[in-house]
A and B are shown apart, each in its own frame.
Chain A
């Protein structure tokens, strides 16, 4: 673990309705690095991320950003510091694409001209620049995901939390958008199901299983054949260009 993590998670636990979603999870995010949060369905990835962007506050343990406890940060300053791409289906009727992206700048209170310039630049980056004035209700799932990517890129926080960023995106935009985030050089924590995509972008990985952190470190050290078998129940090998999967393990 880095000596001075920009974000430190210490002994975080979460229980809901009698079941344990997170159990004593501790790790740190290194400044300027792209981190993968890995694990099968129900491992606790989204729950952990929800704690980080403050949608979940019932957790035990502590989260500190730049040495300051999450609970001590003023709301707006924290929202400007840490931005999130979340998984939440909504209908965006009555708002234009530019307005949706502009709302992402809420924590910054920018002058109108600068906000408009940032929104336009971000929309162009996700390939929606020509449609800025359209009603966001008419977007497909993938286009809506691109729109929320644009919102986050316009805000450009120091820490990006990306919950399954590849959701609904075609292959082209999976690479375009994750490249765009990577080029910003900020600290990123992204959850992935596509291990090859994770290999392409991430420097380090945290592997969750059943709410527990079972491994942390460089991807090749985390994704061993044994762990791929025990956690993901797949017969696979990690390689520098991705994970070669031979098949699911029966049972």
Chain B
């Protein structure tokens, strides 16, 4: 098998992430020397106040948020693709994105703006995502039997369709300017991220990563088939329920952080698998880093390509993700 050395890949990915985040923090300040930028980054006493304000209040929270959102979606994608043994599974498969969309559009269109502002659109979207996930699980779960993979996917599709129609209903009712607000959320954006938005993902992502990494061998065993995994002593119903809930939580927080960001959770795990193979002990860290790099770079492009206009993240991602996605489809058609 042709695989890149894990240590080298990990080091290069970490370097690339740091570079991408520095670029994200300092883009548009090209006229300044690097020592000036670093003084602002480390908040040294002689740093330029303007630069420090830009970097610390506007850029860094946003860059950190998109990095975490990318990592969370990639991690969720790896979990779902392994547990459902479906190469086309992604974090939104369980109805999460449409649940979040429906909650967000309903809030934008119907609820008083002051109420939405005080409660937080992010929190409402998160609750919508969790509601959709619980409904999907409820449809798929059979007492004493656990969850059937296929039933779970079908339940996710059914719940997605339901919430999509709810979103469409609210968008249809809304005034045009309100619709535009809702659409910008639906297509993903991290604009306006503040430090206060950071903690949920900053806590859940590293903890979740450790939990999944500790389950890496069991996820590998699931790749051999449900029955083989059970015969090898894997507590499959507990593993499936626990890690799917974690994936839903990560995805819900990602949606709250940057709206609906498609493709990362679907395509990035495949890219990482092509580089370091399927064993999760190696795959997890590389997939999370690739997800972080991807979204930091795409976010940077989204705010610079047509500046001062910002492009939605999903629009750019779809453009970049289409070629590898077609490649994955071809591999799936060939039976991988």
The chain A residues found within 8 Å of chain B, CB to CB, are 50, 53-55, 57-58, 75-76, 78-80, 83-84, 86, 88-96, 99-100, 103-104, 106-107, 133-135, 137, 148
Contacts and interface: CB of A to CB of B under 8 A. Distances in A.
Contacts of B234: 75, 106
Contact of B226 (A55, A57, A58, A94): A55
B232 A91 contact: no
Contacts of A96: 1, 277
Interface stretch (B11-19, B201-209, B216-224): B216-224
Contacts of B231: 53-55, 79, 83-84, 86
A137 B218 CA distance: 19
Contacts of A50: 227
A74 B144 CA distance: 19
Nearest to B336: A93
Interface string B244-283: 0000000000000000000000000000010001110000
B220 A99 contact: yes
Given A58-B144, A95-B277, 20 more contacts: A50-B227, A53-B231, A54-B230, A54-B231, A57-B144, A75-B235, A78-B233, A88-B228, A92-B224, A93-B336, A94-B336, A95-B220, A95-B279, A99-B279, A104-B232, A106-B217, A106-B232, A135-B1, A137-B336, A148-B228
Interface in B1-52: 1
Contacts of B85: 90
Interface residues of B, number: 27
Report which residue of A79, A93, A137 has the largest number of chain B beta carbons within 10 angstroms of its beta carbon.
A93
A55 B278 contact: no
Interface string B142-162: 001100000000000000000
Contact of A95 (B223, B233, B235): B223
Contacts of B217: 103, 106
A201 B226 CA distance: 29
A107 B232 contact: yes
A94 B277 contact: yes
A55 B227 contact: yes
Contacts of B227: 50, 53, 55, 84, 86, 88
A86 B336 contact: no
A148 B273 CA distance: 23
A79 B232 contact: yes
A166 to B, nearest CB: 18
Interface in B272-306: 273, 277-279
Given A88-B225, A106-B221, A94 B233 contact: no
Nearest to B331: A93
A94 B144 contact: no
B335 interface: yes
Contacts of A88: 225-228
B78 to A, nearest CB: 12
Interface string B83-96: 00100000000000
A-B pairs with lowest CB-CB distance, top 8: A94-B278, A79-B233, A93-B336, A88-B225, A53-B231, A84-B231, A75-B233, A90-B225
A58 B228 contact: no
Given A90-B224, A95-B278, A134-B1, A106 B230 contact: no
A41 to B, nearest CB: 19
B238 to A, nearest CB: 10
